[in-house]
Structures are given as C-alpha cells and as structure tokens.
C-alpha cells in the first residue's frame, strides 16, 4: 500500500511539473501581435492633423533674425508649413494626413484633406520655403528633426497610389532635394553624434532619413550607413535605466538600436545589441516601462507621451525583426498608455502626437 501511494504521488508530481512546463512554454512561445491601424483609429487621428495644419496660431517660429524685415507672420515665412505650432509639427501633420489616405484611399474626408494639402503644398509655396532655407541666417533651420520628417513626407507622397498626392510630390521635390543635400553635407561633417532625447538626436534623424534614402537617394543611404557605423558600432552598455529625461520624446538608447538594426546584418546586429543593451532582449520590461505625463498643458512635459509612442515604434521594429514577443508586448503597453489619454484638449500635445501615434501603428504592420 505504501509503495502504491508513493507511485501515485510521483505520477501526480510528474504531471504537475509537465503542466507547469507546458504553461511556461506557452507563455514564452505565445505570439504577441502588435497594435495596428484600423478605420476607427484613422478616423480619430486624422482630426488632430486636419485641424492644425492650417492653424497659424499659437506659433513658435524658431528663426534667426537678420534684421527687422525678418519679422513676418508664420504664413508669410512658411506658406506650406505654418500650422501646428511649429514648422516640424506642420510637416508631420501633413505626413499624418497623407498616410491616412494611403492606408484608406476611400477615407470619408478624402476630398477635404486633399484640398487642404493642395492649398499648402503648391509649387509657389515650396519655392518660398526654399528661399527661407537659403537665407544666410537660417541654413540650419530644423536640423535634423524637421529635415527627417520632410523626407518621411516625401517618401509617403512618392509611394502613394493616389494621383493627387503624386502631383504634390512633384511640387515638394525641390525642397526634398534641398533637404537631402543638407543631410548629406551635415552627416559627412558631423564628428560626434548628438545623443539627447529631443529634436537634435542624430540616431533618430539618420533612421528616418535612411527610410527615405534606401529607395530614393543611394548617396544619402551610403553616407548614413558609414557614419552610423563610425558613431555607434563600438558602443556598449547604453544606460537605458537613466531614461527618461524629464522632457524626452525619444529614447536615445532605443533610437540608436533601431538605426543599427537597419545598418547591420542580423547576426552582427544580435552581437552588437547584446553588448549595447545587455539583458534587454531577454527581459525588456525590467529596463523600461511606460512614462507618465503630470501636466499635459506644459509643452515640454507633454513630450513624454511622445516618448511612449516613439518607444513603441522602436520596440515594434526590433521585436518583429528578432521575433521577440516580449518587446512587442512591451510596445503594446507603451502605446495603450498614451493613446488612451490623447484627447485632453490641450494643444501642447494635440498639435503633434497624432503623427507619433500613427507612426507607431505603422511600425506594427
């Protein structure tokens, strides 16, 4: 009787261990799907960009004044990108509308959106934008954040199946070429990368520009890949636990990791990533979690919602490339945390966050 009970106990223990092992395996192997764009989200996000791309005020110009004649209205200075509080936000507001139409060609507000885009991205307006960049005092205007978004917009117009948007690409092309040349010149002469969590971040600018350059500018693509390796290939132990800074909307560590994903072969990238972010592939949630915005009326603090979205697109891109479900799950958590709080009515975030949310969703496709 004693041996019979012992035998039954061993069987039960074996079954329990097998069950636990199966549960663990299921948790590990479970496929996690990224959050992607759908018609409801498109309908929600378009309103932010549609409202602001021709909303001139409030406005932050960020210009250098050569003399008193430089004191003009935003629309006089930037007849294409004068809305959404500042130039770069106007650019990615345009990008948002273009990408909604590219995703949903029969979008219910299609005609109204196209009319707005045709009014801003005209040949005459683009020549005026170029004139501003040619000014001796403003040659570095929007370097490199606004430049990168301009190339993103150009890419989306070029790849559209909507004839009206292809025509707008032709209007934009002179400015696209100017920005392309500025990127090549700047990246060639830049000795040290800029590693902050805001607009000048070099890895972000290179990553976005490379998305455009891979198909449309072999010279720019070559420069970016060469300089990215020179800047980042020997980096180790990125202090991701120091993030975020109080005003960050980009993760310096993840932006760099995303750029290098596009630059290195996969096997080389795995070796590099494990030295750059040791342990991150195995347990990413131990290193970062969604951030909280305390005051959404404060334009700088509102950056942190953007950080949740930019982390999302980085985690999606890396997680999908490496079949890493933990990264994708963490990306979903970051996205949901800020997406659920976007509609606060505060212009500090409303003028730009839709583009970050949409880019995150597109990265999940």
Q: 285-296: per-residue pLDDT in tens?
A: 999 999 999 999
Mean pLDDT of 298-318: 97
Confidence of residue 28 (pLDDT cuts 50, 70, 90): very low
Q: What was the pLDDT predicted at 344? A: 81
pLDDT for the residue 21: 36
Residues 37 and 35: their CA atoms lie apart, in Å, by 7
End-to-end CA distance of the chain: 61
Nearest alpha carbon to residue 165 among 222, 231, 99, 226: 99
Query: What confidence tier does 26 reach under pLDDT thresholds 50, 70, 90?
Result: very low
Buried b (16+ CB within 10 A) or exposed e, 121-137: bbeebbebbeebbeeee
Close Cβ partners of 166 (under 8 Å, ≥ 6 residues apart) = 157, 158, 160
Average pLDDT of span 195-201 = 98
Residue carrying the six token digits 């909604």: 100
Task: Compute, in degrees rounded to 10, the torsion defined by CA atoms 335, 341, 347, 351.
Answer: 20
Q: Does 323 score more than 90 pLDDT?
A: yes
Mean pLDDT for 202-229 is 98
Residue 159: predicted pLDDT: 98
Res. 20: pLDDT tops 70: no
The overall average pLDDT reported for the chain is 93
* Predicted confidence band of residue 176 (pLDDT cuts 50, 70, 90): very high
Percent of the chain with pLDDT over 90: 90
Q: Which of 27-36, 105-114, 213-222, 327-336 has the lowest mean pLDDT?
A: 27-36
Q: What is the pLDDT of residue 30?
A: 79
| Secondary structure of 160-198 as H, E, C letters | CCCHHHHHHHHHHHHHHHHHHHHHHHHHHHCCCCCCCCC
* DSSP classification of residue 141: T
DSSP one-letter code for 246: T
- Give the pLDDT mean for 309-333: 98
Band the pLDDT of 341: cuts 50, 70, 90: confident
Q: DSSP class of residue 295?
A: -
Q: What is the pLDDT of residue 29?
A: 52
| Single pTM value for the model | 0.92
Residue 2 has pLDDT above 50, yes or no: no
| Angle at 189 (CA atoms; ends 185, 190), nearest 5 degrees | 115
- Percent of the chain at pLDDT > 70 equals 92
Tell me the pLDDT tens digit for each residue of 100-150.
999 999 999 999 999 999 999 999 999 999 999 999 999 999 999 999 999
Q: What share of the chain is helix, strand, coil (3-state, %, to 5)?
A: 65, 0, 35
- Mean pLDDT, rounded, for 175-184: 98
pLDDT, residue 13, reads 42
Cβ atoms of 35 and 332 within 8 Å: the answer is yes
Mean pLDDT for 14-37 is: 58
């Amino acid at each position: 009787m004693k041996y019979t009970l012992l035998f039954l106990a061993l069987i039960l223990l074996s079954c329990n261990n097998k069950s636990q092992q199966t549960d663990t395996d299921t948790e590990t192997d479970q496929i996690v799907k990224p959050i992607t764009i759908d018609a409801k989200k498109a309908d929600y996000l378009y309103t932010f960009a549609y409202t602001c791309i021709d909303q001139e005020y409030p406005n932050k110009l960020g210009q250098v004044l050569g003399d008193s004649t430089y004191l003009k209205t935003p629309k006089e200075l930037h007849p294409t990108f004068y809305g959404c509080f500042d130039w770069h936000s106007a650019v990615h507001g345009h990008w948002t509308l273009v990408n909604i139409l590219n995703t949903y060609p029969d979008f219910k507000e299609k005609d109204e959106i196209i009319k707005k885009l045709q009014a801003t991205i005209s040949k005459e307006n683009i020549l005026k934008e170029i004139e501003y960049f040619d000014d001796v005092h403003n040659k570095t205007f929007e370097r490199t954040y606004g430049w990168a978004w301009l190339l993103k917009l150009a890419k989306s117009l070029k790849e559209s199946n909507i004839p009206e948007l292809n025509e707008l690409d032709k209007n934009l092309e002179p400015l696209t070429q100017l920005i392309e040349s500025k990127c090549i010149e700047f990246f060639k002469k830049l000795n040290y990368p800029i590693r902050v969590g805001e607009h000048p971040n070099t890895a972000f600018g290179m990553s976005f520009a490379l998305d455009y350059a891979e198909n449309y500018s072999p010279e720019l693509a070559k420069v970016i890949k060469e300089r990215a390796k020179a800047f980042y290939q020997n980096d180790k132990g990125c202090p991701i636990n120091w993030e975020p800074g109080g005003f960050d909307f980009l993760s310096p560590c993840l932006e760099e990791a995303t750029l290098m994903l596009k630059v290195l072969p996969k096997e080389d990238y795995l070796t590099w990533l494990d030295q750059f972010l040791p342990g991150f592939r195995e347990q990413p949630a131990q290193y970062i979690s969604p951030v909280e915005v305390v005051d959404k009326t404060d334009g700088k603090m509102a950056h942190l919602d953007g950080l949740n979205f930019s982390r999302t697109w980085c985690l999606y891109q890396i997680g999908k490339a490496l079949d890493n479900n933990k990264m994708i799950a963490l990306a979903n958590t970051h996205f949901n945390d800020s997406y659920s709080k976007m509609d606060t009515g505060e212009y500090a975030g409303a003028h730009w966050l839709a583009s970050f949310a949409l880019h995150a969703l597109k990265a999940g496709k």
